[in-house]
Chain A
Amino acid sequence: MNILKKICKTIVNILLVLIFVTPFYWMFLTAFKTISQTIQMPPLFYVLDPQWSNFSQVFEKIPLLHMFKNSVLISAGILLCQAITVIPAAYAFARYKFAGSKVLFGLTLITMMIPSQLIFLPVYLLLSKLGLINTYASMILPSACSAFAIFMLRQTFMQIPEELVEAARLDKASELKIMLKIMLPIARPTVTTLALLTFISSWNDYFWPLVLTTNDTVRTLPLGISMLKAVDGAVMPYHIIMAGNVLLVIPIIIAFICAQKQIIQAFTYVGEK
């Protein structure tokens, strides 16, 4: 009975790994195949002569390094801006009673329910009127604040005992000092969590770059990779697309392997609230 159970469990485990790991294995494998190997039946499950040239072809077709730089700059820019907008706002909503705070906070919560996919047309029009299309500003500003982050951080700030703040006030610490030196360190787990989530989502974002860029100036990696598929009457170059994919996925997977615990904690933390 127990053995049977164990066997069942092993089978289920293997199935799970197959279902969730095979697609990534297939991506890596395809990235090293020749085009004719990609359309070979039965398919090859290994390659003896890895085609590193697939990767150099990605570099030839799209300005990959430039897009990589853009991805980094834009993700970092979004992080910085969110720090500036989210922390004081969350602090104010948590610690002050002021006229209209409920309405404004409610409004903030409402924006959480509005996905960017709903409002991209007006945002595009707005940014073009401002002459910001194809600038880093256009890629950063729409994501420069996160209602979700304000909500999360406010919760954390509210849990901090009032006595701590009072004690600091008695020491004549300025409000800025209280916020930065007392509240933030206590809220650090939330802040790192939010930063991690923001970074991952802006690194992966495809929609805003698709909508808001018209040339390569500020285009990011995901968009670049998707541009590899435009072939006119030719075999879909899966070997090259997958090579590009590998370059896009690797940083995330490495980060996940190195910081699995933190990342898992981050996502769990948010879900628990």
Chain B
Amino acid sequence: MKNFISKVVTTMLIATMGVSLAGCSSSEPTTTSGADVSAEAASQETIKLEFWYSWTDQIQENNINLSNMFNETIGKEKGIEIVPVYQGSYDETHQKLQASYIAGQAPALSVMEIASTKLFAENGIIKSLDDYIDRDDLDVDDFYTGLTENCIVDGEYYGLPYLRSTPILYLNKTLLEQAGLDPVGPATWDEMAQYCEVIYNELGIVGLTNYSYDWVFEAFFFQEGTSVLNADETATNINTAEGKKIFSYFQDLIQNGYAKMYAGVDSSKVAVDVMNQNTAMWFSSTGDLTKYITLADESGFDITASYIPAGVTYGVPTGGCNIVMTTGLTPAEEEAAWEFMKWLTDTEQTVYASIYTGYVTTRQSAVETDEIQALFEELPEAKIALDQLEQYGHGRPMHSRYAEVKKEFVNAMDAVWVNNADVDTTLAETEAKVNAILAN
């Protein structure tokens, strides 16, 4: 009998140990291509840092390329290895970042959609960079001011602008010319309505396609001289004269067949319509510029871009992501992470990233380089994006529960624009819900 017990117990122990050993040995992350960088003899002292990023395609390639470049140069010299890890969309990245922080498994570095900076700073997940900025005399004023707004929480920097953007209006030049319209694009919302009508009448397709896009939605409010949330973020301005105007304006366009609106979950449908030339105008991030140019080339049409039309003024939110450093790193890791952040957002890399992806050039010093000037020559749309940012860029709301608020905004747009709900009741309901969230 004793024999039996001891056998069972030993088997169990071995099994448990096997499992936990497997667990231990697995703690070093393995990834796509970043980890392939050859570890040299000196690798014992190499500090490995995970760097989380969002999105695939050019953005993914850009992140992997930059990480490799760093590993091969400064990284090699200073014994730092950056391991890029793909995490899906921004929302998924944020969700995983919180989860991993709770588990004590946070990566050293991550991209962060700018509206979430405050939430993560307040919860102590990301680290204030002020000490390092002061120590190294980092020239943060070189970044465009519209971009640093969302990096700062309570007067301290929590991130550095990385892949940043504003929404712009993209135009299918070929279609506009076919419809006999000026391909410069509409400057005001009234002109936009006229453009859409002409396109509908001439070509039988919708003029404008959009989806329930919370970010562009913020732009609509800026153009009416207001914003989606009030200044101290205690209430929403959605149920105001401006809000109603915005909702009714698009509802009219949609009902006339001049515009098409997709639900929030169907955002990818816009690109499909663009590709099939079922629409002449659409809103998207400047970060999609190279993607749309390639797409247009392949499908045989020309595109251009312009400011998002003006209401009482022009105005757009900035967007995209900053790079942030998490808390809880050892001093050596922190130093290494800072080294990478600094390098990644430095002039040269800013130039690389903005040419590779189409995201706006974040540094004034980068704009002055020959490469970017050449890019502007070749691709005036890139300059349009930057000009819009410089003159009319605003920060995004930073309330720590903005993720929930965003969902309500998307629901309101889905209701009115996609499912033809009544504007007044929808806005009143949304206002009540959002204010309750903000009050909590």
Contacts and interface: CB of A to CB of B under 8 A. Distances in A.
B19 A81 contact: yes
A232 B59 contact: yes
A73 interface: yes
A258 interface: no
Contacts of A235: 268, 271-272, 275, 295
Contacts of B87: 215
Interface string A208-226: 0000001111100000000
A19 to B, nearest CB: 26
B276 interface: yes
* Chain A interface mostly: helix
Contacts of B26: 134-136, 217-218
A215 B92 CA distance: 11
A228 B272 contact: no
B430 to A, nearest CB: 24
Contacts of A135: 20, 22-24, 26-27
B408 interface: no
A215 B105 contact: yes
Interface residues of A, number: 44
A216 B100 CA distance: 12
B104 A227 contact: no
Contacts, number: 144
Nearest to B269: A236
B8 A88 contact: yes
Given A36-B275, A135-B22, A232-B89, A63 B57 contact: no
Nearest to A140: B19
Contacts of B19: 77, 81, 136-137, 140-141
A36 B288 contact: no
A199 to B, nearest CB: 17
Nearest to B99: A214
Interface string A165-196: 00000000011100000000000000000000
Interface string B251-283: 000000000000000011111100110000000
Interface residues of B, number: 59
A230 B87 CA distance: 9
A115 interface: no
A39 interface: yes
Interface stretch (B28-36, B182-190, B390-398): B28-36
Contacts of B20: 135, 137
A93 to B, nearest CB: 16
Task: Select the residue from A63, A218, A234 with max chain B CB neighbours within 10 A.
Answer: A234
A43 interface: no
B85 A80 contact: no
Task: Select the residue from B7, B57, B298 with max chain A CB neighbours within 10 A.
Answer: B57
Given A136-B26, A232-B285, A175 B56 contact: no
A231 B85 CA distance: 16
Contacts of B30: 63, 66, 216-217
A84 interface: yes
12 contacts: A36-B275, A39-B276, A84-B12, A133-B99, A136-B23, A137-B19, A174-B3, A174-B4, A216-B86, A232-B89, A232-B288, A234-B57
Interface of A: 36, 39, 60-63, 66, 73, 77, 80-81, 84, 88, 124-125, 127-128, 131-138, 140-141, 174-176, 214-218, 227-228, 230-236
Interface of B: 1, 3-4, 7-8, 11-12, 15, 19-20, 22-24, 26-32, 50, 52, 54-57, 59-60, 85-89, 92, 96-97, 99-100, 102-105, 107, 267-272, 275-276, 284-285, 287-288, 291, 295, 298-299
